A = this chain, B = another copy of it.
Amino acid sequence: MSSIKKMVLIGTGNVAWHLGHALKKAGVDILQVYDRQPEKAKGFAAELSTTPLSNLSNIIEDADLYLLCVSDAAIAEVGAQLHYVRGIVAHTSGSISLNALKGNENMGVFYPLQTFTKGLPVDLNQVPFLCEGNGTQTESALMALALELSTKVYAISSAQREKLHIAAVFANNFTNHLLAKAHQICEENHIPFSVLHPLILETARKATEANPENSQTGPAKRGDTVTIEKHLSQLADPNLRELYTILTKSIQEK
């Protein structure tokens, strides 16, 4: 069990929604829910049967954890308003350094690496949590808390987490964008996108079994210039043509 029993949740967005529900379910006492906008704080506090807070000066001071689920740009600013608390002040961002919380006695990072959609529950049990703390005790407390939500808990430095976040941009944001382009091509040609579903799922499954480099196939990989030229001649949208060209080139650059 983690030493973290009582916490304040700061933020009401996507990550706050998922972590708030999961932490409550895990038995953590959520004392307050903060959002600068009173209506948002109220709504989410009601959902978690707790107290809304829209002014940080009224924050409960003896919580074990103040969990910042706010935008990257707001982390340092919100953290700076919590210098007087003794509990752990932790953010949940993939790309912000632990040092953004400098000035807080006990500071940490509690980063769930997953793509969340508000309102659609995710099985957090399989979500990797990447934790960091400015001291062994803080880091251990955060890792123990993560272990109450997930089986995949890692200690990772800010430097590594920043790199991992870039890898995640490639693995999720960019691949998702290409899937959206595949959807667009299907739609424009009256082909049900569901025809591609098995291929999409298999592509992901394979990537979890070996280095995806080894399962690369297709015209670019085999240097099939005839097919590449045919595809380009069929793409009217200049954006699709550019993506096709750059990605083909990148695959061919061994």
Contact = CB atoms under 8 A, between A and B. Distances in A.
Contacts of A196: 113, 164, 167-168, 171
- Residue among A170, A173, A184 facing the most chain B CB atoms (10 A cut-off): A170
A216 B160 contact: no
Interface stretch (A17-25, A44-52, A140-148, A225-233): A225-233
A123 to B, nearest CB: 9
Interface in A232-254: 234-235, 239, 242-244, 246-247, 250-251, 253
Interface of A: 72-73, 95, 113-115, 117, 122, 126-128, 130, 152, 154, 156, 160, 162-186, 188-191, 193-208, 211-213, 215-221, 224, 226-227, 230-231, 234-235, 239, 242-244, 246-247, 250-251, 253
Given A117-B206, A167-B182, 18 more contacts: A72-B226, A117-B215, A128-B198, A164-B185, A164-B191, A166-B231, A169-B220, A170-B181, A170-B243, A172-B199, A173-B219, A173-B220, A176-B203, A179-B212, A183-B211, A200-B204, A242-B246, A243-B246
Nearest 5 Cβ contacts at the A-B interface: A173-B218, A204-B204, A171-B182, A179-B212, A167-B185
